[in-house]
Amino acid sequence: MKVEVIKNILGENDKIAGENRNFFAGKKICVMNLMGSPGSGKTTLLEKTLGKISEKIKVAVIEGDLFTAKDAERIENHNVPVVQINTSGGCHLDAPMVKKALQNLDTENLDLIIVENVGNLVCPAEFDIGENFKTVVLSITEGDDKPLKYPLIFKESEIAVLNKIDLLPFTNFDLTAAREDLTTIHPGIKILETSCTKETGLDEFCNLILKKVSDVKS
């Protein structure tokens, strides 16, 4: 019975995700679903990324958050259009929420929408929102065991960002083991090491995004 309900929820979600995907394709908008735990540094990474790419392409942001608009307010400071989705405690974004958010976004001439998902390593990976690709942010402080413990999100993501890499010397995070686990779970996954405080690895991340944007255009 429970399995049946979950199947129906995901089935309905996939239908709307397909509609979102068609909508984005029609407008040649690339969509990145940005996922990761609370505190992994998603919003800071997003701010740094916007600082580097918003002069080159037209970007908008959809901010998923449980209750607040704190992250959306941070993004607004970068003069980028942002739509807030409050899930009222819901632990992930789904395709209907994104579809609804699009009503409040001017999508004319947009090149890229970055969707910051709710901080969670579990169910955001289960819900297709119609994105082109997923990125997962894992902070060094979270521990190197996370890829094996939460394999789905790493399997689903095209890019894994190992963030706060500057903190590596202060932790027992085993970078070699984490990289091996990531590649075992998802052969071909692009693994980046970033630090938003030291400003390292950010250009590489931006270049991957810009490449995805140009792939959608062509």
* Residue numbers at the binding site for Zn ion (CB under 5 A): 91-92, 123
Give all strands (DSSP E) within the chain, no chain letters: 30-36, 59-65, 82-86, 112-116, 133-139, 159-163, 190-193
Using alpha carbons, list the distances in angstroms from residue 16 to 5, 99, 135. Answer: 17, 8, 21
* Element of type H or E holding 78: none
- 91 contact choice in Zn ion, Mg ion, none (CB below 5 to 8 Å, kind-dependent): Zn ion
**Which of Zn ion, Mg ion, none lies near 71, with the C-beta cut-off 5 to 8 A by kind?**
Mg ion
Residue 92, binding choice from Zn ion, Mg ion, none, Cβ under 5 to 8 Å by partner class: Zn ion
We find the least distance from the C-beta atom of residue 62 to Mg ion, in angstroms, to be: 12
The binder of 139, among Zn ion, Mg ion, none, by C-beta within 5 to 8 A per type, is none
Nearer to Zn ion, 92 or 164 (CB): 92
Q: How far is the CB of 124 from Zn ion (least distance, A)?
A: 7
Q: Which is nearer to Mg ion, 116 or 181 (CB)?
A: 116
Q: How far is the CB of 120 from Zn ion (least distance, A)?
A: 6
Residue 78 and residue 74: Cα distance in Å, rounded?
Answer: 8
- Return the one option of Mg ion, Zn ion, none that residue 128 interacts with (CB less than 5 to 8 A, by type): none
Which region holds residue 146: left if phi is over 0, alpha if psi is between -120 and 50, else beta? alpha
Which residues make up the interface to Mg ion (CB under 5 A)? 42-43, 71
User: At closest approach, how far in Å is the CB of 113 from Zn ion?
Assistant: 21
167-173: list long-range contacts, CB under 8 Å, 24+ apart.
167/139, 167/140, 167/141, 168/140, 171/140, 171/141, 171/143, 173/140, 173/141, 173/143, 173/144
The nearer residue to Mg ion, 42 or 92, going by C-beta atoms, is 42
Tell me how far, at minimum, the Cβ of 94 lies from Zn ion, in Å: 8
